[in-house]
Structure 1
Amino acid sequence: MKRYLLTLILLISLAAVSRAQVRIALQGGLHNSTIKEQNDLPFWDLEKQSYKPRTGVHVGFLADIPLGPRSPFYFQSGVTFFNKGREYQFSKDSTVVYTFPSRPDSVVNTFYSANRKQYINYIDIPLNLVFKQRIGKNAKFIVGGGPYFSFFYSGSHKSETLVAGVSYESEENEDLPVGKGEGKYQTIDVGYNALAGFEFGRVYLTANFSQSFSKVYIPDTYNASSYKHHVIGGTIGIFLGKQTPRKPADKDNDGVPDSKDKCPDQAGRPENGGCPDTDGDAVPDKDDACPGLAGPIDNKGCPYPDRDNDGVPDKDDNCPDQPGKAADKGCPADSDKDGIPYELDACPDKAGVARYKGCPVPDRDGDGINDEDDKCPDVAGKAENNGCPAEVKAEVKKAMDLAAKRIQFRVNSAVLTKDSYGVLNKVAILMNENPDLQLAVGGHTSSDGSAETNKRLSEERAEAVKQYLVAEGVNAARISATGYGANKPLNPGKTAAEKALNRRVELEVRNQ
């Protein structure tokens, strides 16, 4: 039996040591042990008062295993040798009568005492759940409990009976029967235990309690309804070696604690905050728009496109559809074939001349005639007229000037008078017969009234003329309407006649 028990103890020890973060402690202490018994003996209530606790020792080791990296709960188990049992002490004054056949009886006053020791030793294996609460830098309050398994190891029964001056009897049995049945101790005792105390670094102090669930012994001379071990004591223990620091939680086992891991469920690299980087471009997959292709951080981990495959990304390539060199910003050495190297060409996509740094000769008016050959560089014209617009026929100008003098409006209004309709009809005919003509309508007022009012009225009158001509079929794009207010007078405007001349509409024409 002892061989099997020692084998079990060894297996439990090896299992405990193999666990990560386990601490092993040696422990020992003192306790009082008794047996809680109930039976059918007469006068038992008086008799049980003579039973006393046995003071014993317990020694062994403890395995302390945390249930999680940051959990305050621990699993504790171990192997402890325990003295259990009880003692019996009874004494009283007594009288002994001696009877003789040939003489009177003799009466002797004496003293009677009985001492019994019921000592049983066990190997206890507790399975406790323990809570630890830190109460200082190095101190913790601990409390816990759970079931235990207790294995019978050895025991003895010893009794002494004394009648002073008369008799003395002593009896001892060190080979107690073990097994199932009457007069035998159970091989295995199962019970519950609890503890509470303090832990100071490597040392701990606890108060302990334990009690059997069921009978540990079945008497063979009477009936016992209860026969349970009951133990109360104290324990001191010391953990061996230095405490291994708890490893922080790391669900994905990538070496980055969950508290600092931005991807706690995916193994990654420390430099990426614990997140994976499949393409190794230093952009974690969670932020990488192209996790399978290496790319720069500023493009969300994707490579920049390079349509012409010249090694120069399109964003830096001035010629994204023509292969070139990086030194030429992705363009051929002379992409516009104007004989000016790319690095000196201000217009690398347009053929030009050296005096304009590789750019074409300017054409400010956009008439297709460069400014060097254009006699009117700010006015669009035709090549046959050296870039200038063709002269408007004299009769057309005269007709326009005459028509302008006959355009009339209602007083202080932009509404045309009926007499103006016929005049403007003729202007519309001239415009439609001469499609190259451009017409500028200018509205003018006298200096009477505020400048703001005059400006608005002149604009409205010029626009009224334009809209009338558009209604008569003239393309609106050929007509501009501008109000000048009183800013361009024909005379000082001191007299009523002068002011009347300043209130006018001008029609200026030119060829496209």
Structure 2
Amino acid sequence: MKRILLLLSFSLTTFLTTSAQSRIGLLIGGHQATVQEKNDLPDWESIKGNYKGRTGLRIGFIADMPLGTSRFYFQPAVFLSNKGRKYAQVFDTTVSQTLSVSSRQFVNYIDIPLNLVYKIPIGRTTKFVIGAGPYLSFFYSAKHKTETFSKDGQYTLEEDNDPGVGKEPGDYKIYDYGVNGTAGFEFGRVFLTAHYAQGLGNFYKPVDYTASQFRHRTIGATLGIFLGKQPEPAPRDQDKDGIPDKDDKCPTLPGPAALNGCPDADGDGVADPSDRCPAEAGPVENQGCPWPDRDKDGIADKDDACPDQPGLPEDKGCPPADSDGDGVPDKADKCPQQAGVARYDGCPVPDTDGDGINDEEDKCPTKAGTRANNGCPEEVKKEVVEKINYAAGKVQFAVNKAVLTPASKKVLDGVADILRQQPELKLAIGGHTSSDGSRELNLRLSQQRADAVKNYLISKGIEAERLSATGYGPDQPLNEGKTAAEKAQNRRVEMVVSNQ
């Protein structure tokens, strides 16, 4: 047990010695130790006055650890402490064979007080110290000794140098606990203090009677010396921003070192106490406020050539040139002299068929039409189609030639009249033959006949671009062309009228 206690004491002392911001001290002192006892003995009141205190020694180590920036310190210690009591009684030999009895109950502990100490400077190197805290005690050793003298001169000695440890009568508890207080002075590294300690647990169980209280009490003085310099307390830093209050212009508000410990809510580099606009970022030269910007274009009025019109930095704050006023700046406008829309790079919406209806509104953007028909051509009237079809059926040529008969020309005069009256109409002319003869010859003859019709209409004042002529030869027959009647039907001219 003693080895374990010594090892514990050594380990704790080493920890206290190596702890950051702490210094170690050696202490030695004396005290008067007593035992507070209450029991069920009937004559206790008459004999308890025979018990006296024991003068004991305390020797060990103490640590001095500052707590933050205050004057409070944590002072744990480890020391060997002598405790116990003495007993002496002289008897009346007229009624007793015993002349006197004296005994000692000496108990040694390793004490570990854990005190919180407050130091008050009263001079350049002198401080008044006061503190208190709990303590733990670990049983180290004990010794019992009783001497008895009889009136006839006989002497009896009883000793027990190794009392038991446990819970049985005559045993000591392995640990004890209580509270203690200290007060005194520090003179540089030297300290002189008074101390008082009161046990709160029963440390021993008597053999011959029952005790309801068996507790240690000590009072004494201690002299000590710290081996290292007094650790400097960390400088006071109320706002915990890492800048000591003495250097902090805003000691109660955290802030960066660059601003001497003051906050900067808007992050503009101007400390809040000096910032005229602490919620808005602004330059130092304007005391932390943003420069005025009337047109809200991000360019300060002092740098804006057009402070009342939003613009761009490259235009010195002025709106970019827009010659056609379509909202697309000239530098991005592909049609700067013609109002358009942004989606067409400043050009008007296209009108592919040139009918006056732009492609976005025109349901037939590649065919000229009317607005009433959403940009699509109006349908050719039925009677016109019928007239053209009738005329086509009456067109005839000289046998195996592309020469119109006089009757055919009169029919085509009627077609020319219709085309002149409705200039939006166009006519597709197709020439067809039977399968008699070679295909090459028939294709050439059908093309010549279609061209003959087209040329005749042109001669009657119809624009060539309104007319088309295609020879299909025998490739698009109306029937099988086996009989003379079927072959005659396949030799024909077709005219298809449209307004597209």
Place the TM-score, normalised by the shorter chain, in its bin. Answer: 0.5 to 0.7
Tell me, in whole angstroms, the C-alpha distance in 1 between the residues paired with 2:115 and 2:274.
Answer: 47
Could you say which residue in structure 2 is the equivalent of 1:134? 121
The 1:297–1:27 alpha-carbon spacing in structure 2 relative to 1, beyond 3 Å, is farther
1:336-382 superposed Cα distances (whole Å, 9 cap, x missing partner)? xxxxxxxxxxxxxxxxxxxxxxxxxxxxxxxxxxxxxxxxxxxxxxx
Q: Give yes or no for contact 1:283–1:297 (8 Å, CA) kept in 2.
A: no
Pick the aligned partner of 1:244 from 231, 239, 244.
231
Deviations 1:88-119 (A, max 9, x none): 2233574799xxxxxxxxxxxx9833221111
Tell me the distance in 1 between the aligned counterparts of 2:208 and 2:103.
17
Shift of 1:266: 6.8
Match of 2:169 in 1: 182
Query: What does 1:55-454 correspond to in 2, within 5 Å?
Result: 55-70=55-70, 72-92=71-91, 94=93, 112-163=99-150, 166-250=153-237, 254-264=241-251, 268-275=255-262, 283-284=270-271, 295-300=283-288, 315=302
CA contact (8 A) 2:67 2:233 kept: no
**Distance change in 2, residues 1:48/1:287 (3 Å):** same
Tell me the SS of whatever aligns to 2:133: strand
Please name the residue that 1:26 is paired with: 26
Tell whether 2:41 aligns with 1:44.
Answer: no
SS of corresponding position for 1:9: helix
In 2, Cα distance between equivalents of 1:53 and 1:61:
25
Instruction: Give the aligned residue type for 2:144.
Output: H
Measured at CA, do residues 319 and 143 of structure 1 come closer, stay the same or move farther in structure 2, by a change above 3 Å?
Answer: same
CA-based RMSD? 4.2
Task: Give me the TM-score of the superposition, normalised by structure 2.
Answer: 0.53
Which letter maps to 1:41? Answer: L
Distance 1:145 1:277 in 2: 44
Counterpart CA distance in 2 for 1:17 and 1:254 is: 30
Please tell me whether Structure 1 or Structure 2 has the larger radius of gyration of its CA atoms.
2
Identify if the C-alpha distance between structure 1 residues 43 and 263 changes in structure 2 by more than 3 Å, giving closer, same or farther. same
* Further displaced range: 211-220 or 267-276: 267-276
Conserved 8 A contact 2:281-2:288: no
The one-letter code sitting in structure 2 at the alignment partner of 1:86 is R
Residue equivalent to 1:451: none
Change (3 A) 1:215 1:299: closer
What is the CA–CA distance in structure 1 between the aligned matches of 2:291 and 2:62, rounded to whole Å? 60
Return the alpha-carbon distance in structure 1 between the equivalents of residues 106 and 285 of structure 2. Answer: 78
CA distance in 2, matches of 1:180, 1:65: 37
Aligned residue for 1:195, secondary structure, equals: strand
Aligned partners of 1:281 and 1:301 also within 8 Å: no
Say if 2:148 and 2:155, in contact at 8 Å, map to a contact too.
yes
CA positional deviation for 1:222? 1.0
Distance 1:168 1:3 in 2: 37
Taking the aligned partners of 2:165 and 2:285, their CA distance within structure 1 comes to: 77
Aligned to 2:326: none
292 and 34 in structure 1: CA distance in 2 versus 1, 3 angstrom threshold = same
Deviation at 1:185, TM superposition (A): 0.8
Contact 1:181 1:218 in 2 (8 A): yes
* C-alpha separation in 2, matches of 1:122 and 1:59: 11
The DSSP-based 3-state class of the residue aligned with 1:185 is coil
SS state at 1:242 partner:
coil
Are the counterparts in 2 of residues 283 and 301 from structure 1 also a CA contact under 8 Å?
no
TM-superposed CA distance for 1:264, in Å, is 4.9
- Normalised to the residue count of structure 1, the TM-score between the two structures is 0.51
State the Cα distance separating 1:287 from its structure 2 match: 5.1
Shift of 1:208: 1.4
The answer for unaligned runs of 5 or more in structure 2 is 317-500
Task: Tell me which amino acid in the other structure corresponds to 1:78.
Answer: A
**Alignment partner of 1:54 is 2:54:** yes
CA distance in 1, matches of 2:279, 2:18: 40
Shift of the 303–59 alpha-carbon distance from structure 1 to 2, 3 Å rule, reads: farther
CA distance in 2, matches of 1:34, 1:290: 68
The residue matched to 2:245 in structure 1 has which SS? coil
Question: Which amino acid counterpart does residue 286 of structure 2 have in structure 1?
Answer: D
Cα 1:154–1:162, aligned 2, differ >3 Å: closer, same or farther? same
- The answer to which of 271-280 and 148-157 deviates more is 271-280
Deviation at 1:160, TM superposition (A): 2.0
**Secondary structure at the counterpart of residue 234 of structure 1:** strand
Q: 1:186 to 1:281 in 2, by over 3 A?
A: same
Taking the aligned partners of 1:169 and 1:194, their CA distance within structure 2 comes to 41
- Paired letter, 1:227: F
Shift of 1:294: 8.3
Give the Å deviation of 1:79. Answer: 1.2
Structure 2 distance, partners of 1:287, 1:20, is: 39
- Deviations along 1:443-502, one digit per CA (max 9) or x if unpaired, are xxxxxxxxxxxxxxxxxxxxxxxxxxxxxxxxxxxxxxxxxxxxxxxxxxxxxxxxxxxx
SS state of the match for residue 221, structure 1?
coil
| Aligned mates of 1:269, 1:32 — CA distance in 2 | 57
Structure-2 change in CA distance of 1:252 and 1:11 (3 Å)? farther
Q: Would the aligned equivalents of 2:138 and 2:176 in 1 still touch at CA under 8 Å?
A: yes
**Equivalent residues, number:** 314
2:46 aligns to what SS in structure 1? helix
Counterpart AA for 1:54: R
Q: What displacement does 1:198 show?
A: 2.1
Residue 139 of structure 1 deviates from its aligned partner by 2.7
Over 3 Å counting, the alpha-carbon distance change for 1:319 and 1:92 in structure 2 is: same
How far is the alpha carbon of 1:293 from its aligned partner? 7.4
